């Protein structure tokens, strides 16, 4: 997984699978994370579910997680503040 740091934010790629049976982080996928979400990809519900899942797993406020690019697609770039690269890598374990 490729994680980059810029101005206090760590960013990495995420591939989202909406309408899954449960919310879960599956593992690494094409230099990023693959995440399954129960939310449908309408009205930004999947994006909100993605932000909530990452915030809760990393124990940071929801405002610390933002979708930098790819808000309308399955492949996204996520930026998170208040974490370390090791904390992000631990999501896969």
Domain regions of the chain by residue span: 3-89
Tell me, what DSSP letter sits at residue 40?
Answer: -
Mean pLDDT, residues 78-83: 96
For the chain, the 3-state helix, strand and coil shares in percent, each to the nearest 5, are 25, 40, 40
Say which CATH class 3-89 falls into. Answer: alpha beta
Tell me, what DSSP letter sits at residue 71?
Answer: T
pLDDT single digits (tens) 23-70 = 999 999 988 999 999 999 999 999 999 999 999 999 999 999 999 999
Are 12 and 1 contacting, i.e. CB atoms less than 8 angstroms apart? yes
CB contact burial 9-29 (16+ within 10 A = b; e otherwise): bbbbbbbbebeeeebebeeee
pLDDT band at 93 (very low <50, low <70, confident <90, very high): confident
């Amino acid at each position: 997984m490729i994680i980059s740091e810029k101005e206090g934010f760590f960013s990495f790629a995420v591939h989202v699978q909406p309408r899954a049976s449960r919310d879960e982080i599956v593992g690494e996928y094409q230099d990023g994370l693959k995440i399954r979400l129960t939310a449908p990809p309408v009205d930004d519900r999947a994006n909100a579910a993605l932000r909530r899942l990452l915030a809760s797993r990393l124990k940071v406020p929801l405002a610390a997680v933002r979708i930098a690019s790819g808000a309308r697609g399955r492949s996204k770039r996520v930026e998170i503040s208040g974490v370390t690269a090791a904390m992000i890598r631990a999501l896969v374990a």
